[in-house]
Chains A and B, each alone.
Chain A
Amino acid sequence: MGGTSSKLPKDLLSEYQELTFLTKQEILMAHKIFSELQDRENGLYSSRVSMEKILTLPELKSNPFRKRICHVFSTSDMKDGSLSFEDFLDLLSAFSDSATLEIKSHYAFRIFDFDDDGTLDARDLEKLVNSLTGETDDTRLTGEEMRQLISNILEESDIDKDGTVNLSEFQHVISRSPDFVSSFKIVL
């Protein structure tokens, strides 16, 4: 998939179409963008693009969860958040228009699950809120506000009252939200 083979094999392309929610044009587009990112990696040929490169994409640049997104979709053994082309397609597929709510909420949950422990606990929520509000002092919530907010969130979503939000509870909440599907999207 280097700069030279800028065309995807046909059968692979159809496989990708089968496996993702993307159309042919979108996959080709993604491939173009991805190989551009690759090209910038001087010298060393690698099928992966480092997280820093990915984050230069304008679509991700201003996203507060950009690093989490990379980590979640990365299949790298190094846990460095680098993406292969297939990971990249996964990302786009999950964020595409036609992806189902289930997929989207699943990945959203993983993105929000900062410590990767399978549940959203108070610390995850705090991190989540902080990345939403930004780290500057004037936007950041005070401790009291944060406590209140988190307890309210748990109050609403934590059906089994174990102090954390798990995937199913999360999906339950998300599925009721009218905006989620339309806003959990990234288009190239």
Chain B
Amino acid sequence: ELFQNIQVQKEIIANIRTKPWPIRRKLKVLKQAREIVLKYEGRLTRTRGYQAAGADLLKKISRVLYNIVVLFIPWEMRIKKIESHFGSGVASYFIFLRWLFGINIVLTIMTGAFIVLPELLAGAPFGTTRSKTIPKDHLASAQDLDTIWSLGARLSSLIFTGYLQYSVLFYGYYGNVRKIGSAGYRLPLAYFMVGMAVFAYSFITLLRKMAKNSRMSLAGASDENYTFCWRVFCAWDYLIGNPEAAESKGAAIVNSIRVSISCIQQTQINLSLAVLISLRILANILVLLSLTGSIYIIYFVVDRSQKLEQEKPELTLWEKNEVSVVVSLITMIAPSAFELVAQLEMYHPRTSLRFQLARVLVLYLGNLYSLIIALLDKVNSMSSAVSRNLSDSTSYLATISQSTEDNLSTIIPDITERQNSTLTRTLLEMQSLLNHTVLYEYNTRSQQDPCWETYVGQEMLKLSIIDMIFTVASILLIDFIRGLVVRYLSDCCCWDLESKFPEYGEFKIAENVLHLIYNQGMIWMGAFFSPCLPAFNVLKLVGLMYLRSWAVLTCNVPHQQVFRASRSNNFYLTMLLFMLFLCMLPTIFAIVRYRPSQYCGPFSGQEKIYDIISETIANDFPLWFSKVMSYVTSPVVVLPALLLLFMLIYYLQSIARSLKVTNSQLRLQLQNVSYSKLNIIMMYFTRLQAPEGSDKKPEQESDITSMESSARSASPPRRNGSITNFESPVRHGNSIRTITQSVSRPDIPRAAGATQSPTHTYPCHMLHSLISRHSGYLGSTSGSCRSKSYHNMAYKPCTRYAENIHSDPLFRKTLRPMHTEPAVITAQSYVGHRAHSTRYVIVNEHEARKKLMRSNTRLPRHYRLADEPTEIVELYPRNVKCYIPRPPHRSHQPHLSEEEEEEDPKSSTRRGSFRQSKRPRPLSDRHQTTQFYIGDTINSQLSMEQGLYGDEEEGDQEEDWVNDPQTNIRGPESAHRYGEPYVKPKTKHKVEPSLTESDSASLASSSDQQNSSTDQYIQVIHNKKKYLKSNAKLTKTKSKSSVKLNVSGTNDLVCSNV
């Protein structure tokens, strides 16, 4: 028990954060718990003490580390500042940006460490090999100041002919020597592996993040919808600190509430349906047109640039960058056009936002894809010239080894032949690859290595750079200038610039996020061909972060329809995943399908890029390994493996489906239970009112009297009875002291209201004594006991209590017509406590779900456990009797608790009503019996381990259970008034059978029985409340003094118990 005690205390310490109490209380509880742990822990074993010290140290270190880590989260302050101005929606954009930044950092490190650095350090130096030297006639222009200077402005010329093309930036620079350096670093292999790892890493992080997000928000799993509640309870974004943002947020809330109400009322048909539909069709046509238009423009531009390239030897800046500029322009302008079009449709704002996002995404994807296809097509269009030019370029081709030439010649006829038939894309790209190499040979003639990989990488880099330039420009021009104009010219303009036409630029979260995704897609697409692209993207993201945050803070207002933050997080990620997949396709396709360039890059001379793997396996691994690999990759293994995978997927999916069904069923049950509870209560009332004679009664009576007599000798005089009762347990301690303290502070005012009926004090003392004795007995519960009660009383106001008070005078007055009285009381208690019963249900449901996630609910559980024995102890004498007459019922219906419950009240009603005719005493009797039954059934239920089902049923039981405390309290109270003998049996029970009973009970409950303990928990809350009030009113000083006397009690008792 000592050990348990310490465990409990430790849990208190561990979970103290999660308690919704004021700090001061937490401090006190923490100190106490620590004291106890310190005091007793050393006594158990020495090693445990060391362990504890070690754990302490660890905790401290981890805290320090955490503090340090927090310091290094980039832009934390910046984001928080934005968050506090514009709310979490806008901040989610920046958080997303930061997350992308993190991913890109990792990608950069991967490529940098495994590809770029080795190549730089150990690779053949610049100018030694053909792929690394700039052709002679380009050398002049490359060294031209103009070209070098033109990093930003004349990028294309730089990239095409300058140093950059022959640098680590691009695929073509890397040598195809299998092992480089003295250590024999396998660069080509590393290149391939890293290229794949980039995708793998992105996928894994993305999926993990998504899984975490969806785990965090239960909403993903359940389709429950609390539209109105969320709209009201979760509407306000507490982060908003900017008055303007607050205003717009308020307006948005009003809007959303109004809209949802009007949705319910079904009164929003302001346009004729035909017009609406035609408008929407029109809008969709417009969007489609603009999409196809953009695709066509991209094609056209690519085509034109290619033609220009053919015709002119020297291109102007515009002609060189035409493609990327046009693509960037389209990505910038089209979304706004879509938005305009969307206004035609008159959808609900949320729907229109979704449409908008979908369209923009399609646009971006279309742009990327059409660009890639067009690039390849551009090469393809010259395929006719290939054969002719092949001879032209023989001067160059002569340098090519014979074998490769054979390859080419065999492939070309093949292609031209196939060209006539279908023009599938694969073919297209296949062709293009080939043509590309040839094209370059034709184009540049003397340039040594046409390198389609480099070419793709260049295009991607160019696009990325131009995109960045456009983003910056749009931020500066559209947002900043507009903001300036609106702010400073609004005075000298005839209309209000701030609220009418130009306004401030809105920060469109969703569009901006999409743009980020698009950007990232470009990176993924090009990363294989240009290893430094992630590094460039890192720079770009950093710049974007600062620029955006500055722009948001200076000249933007938040979007009107705020895209909800956390839900959208997963939405963003889903889009990103989509993008990643789609961007991976072309790359993977190229790798699988294309023949790498012959004269450049790490894979030159190979048939396929992935041949590097098989080559390595064949050459550098032991023979058995390659054998094994050949087996593994043979259809014999692959096909079953695939099949297995499919089966696994199917299996998991079916499990998920069944879980979903279970979920909905459980929810249904929950609803049913909450309704049936109502019915049961009603039944209970009706039975109560119909008095019935019972045979059991006489023997019970006799028993009671015998108990009384036995107790009388031991019991002190009547009035003081309860008080002494109260005081004697006080020596056990701790708990009492704390309770009284806590009570005396905050609840005096409330208790003052409750002081009307003096009779209350007694039951409270009784209960208190119970609790305190009990806690003394178990030793450990004191701290938690106190805290629990304190929490509850501090928070729970005493309205219900007032009800009780009202009922008490009634009770007193109508001594005789007792039959009706209990009904009234129970009714009241019912009203008051129903809420708690439901609460219980919900709590349990939570527990079932969260059990794995957190263990902080365990604390109350323990605490509750501790209290259970008390109840049972109290009941004990009577239970015996009630138990005996009806064992069969319980034994075979352990889980039909509802029926049982019905029965319990019935029987108790019988007894109770009978006795009521004579005395008030039976009230308490009756409830005690019910209590016992319930407690018992719970145990049996638990022993049967019914799991969730049991939980819900207990919700029912708890109904009655919850009612008990009040009546319980009232019982002794009346006993006090109407005769001492009735007090005594009670007190006596408590003292005598307590040990054995509580022992067994705690044994029973200590295993896992959170459920039964929950009931106890709730009950105890009520008790405490009473206690508080009484305490505040009557015996504040007394309790305190007694505390002083008996502070040391607990320790003694605990020790003795051990």
Which residues of A are at the interface with B, using a C-beta cutoff of 8 A?
Answer: 14-21, 23-25, 58-65, 73, 75, 77, 86-87, 89-90, 93-95, 100, 102-103, 106-108, 110, 112, 116-119, 125, 128-129, 132-134, 139, 141, 145, 148-149, 152-153, 155-157, 159-162, 164, 166-187
Residues of B at the A interface (CB closer than 8 Å) are: 16-18, 20, 22-24, 26-27, 30, 60, 63, 66-67, 70-71, 80, 83-84, 87-88, 92, 216-220, 222, 224, 226-230, 232-243, 245-246, 250-251, 253-254, 257-258, 261, 264-265, 564-567, 670-671, 674, 677-678, 746, 795-797, 799, 831, 834-835, 837-843, 845-846, 854, 856
Known: A175-B846, A183-B238. Is A19-B16 also a contact (CB below 8 A)? yes
Give the residues in chain B near A95, CB-CB below 8 Å: 238
Say how far A93's CB is from chain B's closest CB, in angstroms.
8
The 4 closest A-B pairs by CB, nearest first: A168-B839, A62-B246, A86-B23, A178-B217
Distance in Å: Cβ of B193 to nearest Cβ of chain A: 38
Q: Is the interface of A mostly helix, strand, loop or mixed?
A: helix
Contact check, A148 vs B30: say whether CB atoms are below 8 A apart: no
Using CB atoms, name the residue of chain A closest to B217: A178
Contact B838 A166 (CB under 8 A): yes
Contacts of B70 in A (CB 8 A): 23, 25
Contact among B24, B67, B239, B246 with A25 in the assembled complex (CB-CB below 8 Å): B67
Give the docked Cα–Cα distance between A110 and B796 (Å): 10
Closest to B60 in A: A14
Contact of A183 among B17, B236, B243 (CB under 8 A): B236
Inter-chain contacts of B799 with A (CB < 8 A): 117-118
Contacts of B26 in A (CB 8 A): 19
Of A94, A106, A112, A167, the residue contacting B233 (CB under 8 A) is A112
Shortest CB distance B711–A (Å): 38
Residues of A within 8 A of B67 (CB): 23-25
Instruction: Tell me whether A176 and B219 are in contact (CB under 8 A).
Output: yes
A72 to B26, CA, bound (A): 16
- Asked if A160 and B565 sit within 8 Å, CB to CB, the answer is no
**B24 contacts across to A, CB distance below 8 A:** 75, 86
Closest to B91 in A: A182
Contact A106 B20 (CB under 8 A): yes
Apart from A132-B235, A172-B846, A173-B226, 19 more pairs, CB < 8 Å: A15-B30, A60-B241, A75-B24, A102-B18, A129-B257, A139-B254, A156-B228, A159-B674, A160-B837, A161-B674, A168-B835, A168-B842, A169-B842, A173-B233, A180-B230, A181-B216, A183-B238, A183-B566, A186-B84
Q: Is the CB of A176 within 8 A of B226?
A: yes
A–B pairs, 19, beta carbons within 8 Å? A58-B84, A61-B241, A75-B22, A89-B23, A100-B18, A117-B799, A133-B254, A141-B254, A152-B228, A160-B677, A164-B835, A173-B230, A176-B222, A180-B233, A183-B565, A185-B83, A186-B84, A187-B83, A187-B239
B565 touches A149 (CB 8 A): no
A63 touches B236 (CB 8 A): yes
By the criterion CB–CB under 8 Å, are A183 and B250 in contact?
no
Residues of B within 8 A of A62 (CB): 240-243, 245-246
Residues of A within 8 A of B674 (CB): 159-161
Say how far B66's CB is from chain A's closest CB, in angstroms: 7
Chain A residues, Cβ within 8 Å of B796: 118
Q: Is the CB of A167 within 8 A of B30?
A: no
- Given A133-B254, A160-B838, A178-B219, are A152 and B234 also a contact pair (CB < 8 Å)? no
* B258 adjacent to A141 (CB under 8 Å): yes
A-chain residues with CB within 8 Å of residue B83 when the two chains form the complex: 185, 187
Q: A159–B22 contact, CB under 8 A?
A: no
* Residue in A25, A125, A152 whose CB lies within 8 Å of B264: A152
Q: CA separation between A46 and B526, bound complex, in Å?
A: 64
Closest chain B residue to A98 by CB distance? B17
B-side contacts of A181, CB under 8 Å: 216, 566
- Whether A148 contacts B261 by the Cβ 8 Å rule is yes
Residue of B nearest to A155 (CB): B228
Known contacts A16-B23, A19-B30, A176-B224; A185/B838 CB under 8 A: no
A20, B238: Cβ atoms closer than 8 Å: no
Give the residue among B216, B254, B677 with the most A Cβ atoms within 10 A: B254
Q: Chain A residues with Cβ under 8 A from B840's Cβ?
A: 168
- CB-defined contacts of A100 to chain B, threshold 8 Å: 18, 854, 856
Which of B218, B564, B837 contacts A179, CB < 8 Å?
B564
Tell me if B232 and A125 are in contact (CB < 8 A): yes
Identity of the chain B residue whose Cβ is nearest the Cβ of A60 in the assembled complex: B241
| Cβ-closest chain B residue relative to A85 | B23
Nearest CB of B to A179, in Å: 5
Residue with the highest number of chain A CB atoms closer than 10 Å, among B88, B227, B237, B835: B835
Kindly list chain B residues whose C-beta atoms are within 8 Å of the C-beta of A20.
Answer: 17, 23
Determine the chain A residues whose CB is within 8 A of the CB of B234 once the complex forms: 174, 177, 179-180, 183-184
A169 to chain B, nearest CB (A): 7
- Taken together as a complex, chains A and B put the C-alpha atoms of A132 and B249 apart, in Å, by 9
Chain B residues with CB below 8 A from A103, complex form:
18, 20
A177 touching B835 by the CB < 8 A rule?
no
Q: Do the beta carbons of A156 and B23 come within 8 Å of each other?
A: no
Known: A118-B799, A160-B674, A177-B219. A23 touches B241 (CB 8 A): no
Query: In the complex, what distance in Å separates the CA atom of A109 from the CA atom of B670?
Result: 23
A94 to B799, CA, bound (A): 27
Q: Smallest distance from the beta carbon of A107 to chain B beta carbons, Å?
A: 6
Min CB–CB distance B703 → chain A (angstroms): 38
CA–CA, A152 and B228, complex, Å: 7
Write out the residue numbers on chain A whose beta carbons fall within 8 Å of the beta carbon of B258. 141, 145
Contact of B237 among A17, A155, A157, A183 (CB under 8 A): A183
**Closest A-chain residue to B566, C-beta based?**
A182
Quote the shortest CB–CB distance from B48 to chain A (angstroms): 21
Q: Which residues of A contact B246 (CB under 8 A)?
A: 62-63
Report the bound CA distance from A110 to B192 in whole Å. Answer: 58
Instruction: Evaluate contact between A59 and B241: CB separation under 8 angstroms.
Output: yes
B836 to chain A, nearest CB (A): 8
Check if A86 sits within 8 Å of B228, measured CB to CB: no
- In the complex, what's the smallest C-beta–C-beta distance from A120 to chain B, in angstroms? 9
A116 and B83 alpha carbons, distance in the complex (Å)? 30
Instruction: Please state if A133 and B253 are interface contacts (CB–CB under 8 Å).
Output: yes
Report yes or no: A166 in contact with B250, Cβ–Cβ below 8 A: no
Residues of A within 8 A of B230 (CB): 173, 177, 179-180
Closest residue of B by beta carbon distance from A15 = B27
B216: chain A residues within 8 A (beta carbon)? 181
Q: Is the CB of B84 within 8 A of A141?
A: no
Contact of A90 among B23, B30, B63, B257 (CB under 8 A): B23
What is the minimal beta-carbon distance from A119 to any residue of chain B, in angstroms?
Answer: 7
Contact in complex: B232, A132 (CB < 8 Å): yes
Q: Please name all residues of chain A whose beta carbon is closer than 8 Å to the beta carbon of B845 when the two chains form the complex.
A: 172
A149 to chain B, nearest CB (A): 6
Contact B22 A153 (CB under 8 A): no
Do A162 and B18 contact each other (CB < 8 Å), given the known contacts A172-B842, A176-B224, A182-B88?
A: no
Residue of B nearest to A175 (CB): B218
Residues of chain B contacted by A139 (CB below 8 angstroms): 250-251, 254
Q: Which residues of B contact A176 (CB under 8 A)?
A: 218-219, 222, 224, 226
Report Cα–Cα, A137/B243, bound state, in Å: 19
CB contacts (< 8 Å) of A118 on chain B: these are 795-797, 799
Whether B239 lies near A183 (C-beta < 8 A) is yes
Q: In the complex, are the beta carbons of B22 and A86 less than 8 A apart? A: yes
CB distance from B842 to the nearest CB of A (A): 4
- Alpha-carbon distance A21/B530, docked complex (angstroms): 44
Residues of chain B lying within 8 A (CB to CB) of residue A107? 20
Q: In whole angstroms, what is the CA distance A128 to B854 when docked? A: 32
Q: Give chain A residues whose Cβ lies under 8 Å from the Cβ of B241.
A: 58-62
Q: How far is the CA of A126 from the CA of B435 in the complex (A)?
A: 73
A109 to B290, CA, bound (A): 50
B675's nearest neighbour on chain A, judged by CB, is A161
By a CB distance below 8 angstroms, the chain B residues around A171 are 842, 846
Interface contact B565-A179, CB-CB below 8 Å: yes
Q: How far is the CA of A166 from the CA of B856 in the complex (A)?
A: 21
B229 touches A173 (CB 8 A): yes
Q: Which residues of A contact B227 (CB under 8 A)?
A: 156
Q: Contact between A166 and B839 (Cβ–Cβ < 8 Å)?
A: yes
